[in-house]
Structure 1
């Protein structure tokens, strides 16, 4: 992704131990930048993370500014609802440019039958608005990036969770036929996109939806996971009511299981990244995950 270099240093990465974080730190280092990284759980010696100077910090700490170095550009990979209270501390340390990740869940979960998911959508929307308003009032150029379904083989809680179920049961149940459309996006592509957005002047004070390089049905997404494990696809379509019953029975063993998961398998959760392609060359990979085979 070629773009005019306008990224100002020093650089600080919030939530650097997230899925996107390790990829972003590698790319910043490749550009001969020495980023600072803050996390509530910095990696231990020998656990990786050597691409940054690590700081142990909490965005909710009222004395956050005392623990921060001077910064100019901030990448926020933490949940965006944690960001508004930290903005004064970041500005006090010199922030003039902010690239923050949110999620397309602010749109897709608004009408979810699950109360917790509806709450997440409200938090995302409220936090985005708060960030935009505060930055406009304090002279900080902002960019908000909203990924769709993030994956990073073996590390994420979405695609990799499917892979774990496939490894264990060798079959994947589907609610209905699984015809809802998805656009999985790799964490490494998001890191590259965030850096490109920071370089591109056109991205200032704008928000972008970031989708993967391919739109597939939920069933095809599951089939690709099987293939990425070196297995023959074995999806098991079933009536919606039966899948919902299985989710309720599975909840004590898999706390993340909800009936809303089945409902969404038949829904199209798609977005357009045309503006991102135009403004900072967004061009992610197709969905062909590759997992460690055992």
Structure 2
């Protein structure tokens, strides 16, 4: 990997937080794009810009392109680019929501699922135009860097209020650490057999939604009051909850999991069990 020139979209994301240092340590030449100005460092050049249009002129012609952002803008950018006779290796992340929200009772969630699948198809088509090998990773719920919009806000709110709502939920969950996704990206760069594949990636442990929230609560360093939210209350609440909450409430008894067998077979990556610590709920400083 020492001769790789890598362009990363979404380098400031939770996956990028773990991927960029590993790429630099491997000897790769890394250019990362951010919507906010960031200081470059040896081996890592930050550019200020945003897909699909607000991009700097000095983008390199890389040997690999990685994206952790929305798929369709990335696919549209790829389709417009000219890479010559040596197209880059392309790796992007989607989400297991492409499947788990496909039959949601909420129209907005079904639209998200369709948008993800349309983005995956657009990416495949753009790569086919260039003859570029591509791999898409579909993560489950991501945690680990304090940048997620699911478990981290819950933990930080409980940290402040010392009250932790504990919803009932029999549906299985499979949270995946952002660093394990970064490791899968690195493995895919060196695995031609993963080209043209959409690979689910979940954590190394499946547990009920209730147990997942309880384990988050256990990481908090001070005493907090658990407020049990029984199933009957949650079911009743679906009728009156805001639209953005009705889908998550309805899925508490649904399994939101991934089959890691192809990931492990092709990439040799075995994600860790869900053993969170308190520092995972806060973004790293610096």
Is the structural similarity TM-score above 0.5? yes
Aligned counterpart in structure 2 of residue 223 of structure 1, from 203, 211, 214: 214
1:241 aligns with 235
Deviations 1:107-135 (A, max 9, x none): 11112232222211111100101111221
User: Are the equivalent residues in 2 in contact too, given 1:22–1:49 (CA < 8 A)?
Assistant: no
Question: What's 2:13 paired with?
Answer: 18
d(CA) in 2 for partners of 1:243, 1:8: 55
Counterparts of 1:159 and 1:117, CA distance in 2: 19
Aligned partners of 1:144 and 1:202: how far apart in 2? 13
The DSSP-based 3-state class of the residue aligned with 1:37 is strand
Range with bigger deviation, 113-122 or 282-291: 113-122
For residues 282 and 234 of structure 1, the distance between their equivalents in structure 2, rounded to whole angstroms, comes to 36
TM value normalised by structure 1: 0.85
Long gaps (5+) in structure 1: 252-256
TM-score, normalised by the number of residues in structure 2: 0.87
- How far is the alpha carbon of 1:58 from its aligned partner? 2.1
Residue 184 of structure 1, aligned match among 175, 184, 187 = 175
RMSD: 2.6
Q: Over residues 191-245 of structure 1, what are the superposed CA-to-partner deviations in whole Å (9 max), with x where a residue is unaligned? A: 1111111111211111100010100100110011011114578351322334336
Alignment of 1:275 onto 2:275: no
Alignment match of 1:74 (pick from 62, 65, 72): 65
Cα distance between partner residues in 2 of 1:108 and 1:28: 32
In structure 2, the gaps of 5 or more residues are none
CA distance in 1, matches of 2:99, 2:49: 30
Q: Equivalents in 1 of 2:118, 2:88: separation in Å?
A: 22
Contact 2:172 2:209 (C-alpha < 8 Å) held by counterparts? yes
Mapping of 1:107-256 within 5 angstroms?
107-167=99-159, 168-174=161-167, 177-230=168-221, 234=226, 236-238=228-230, 239=232, 240-244=234-238, 247-248=241-242
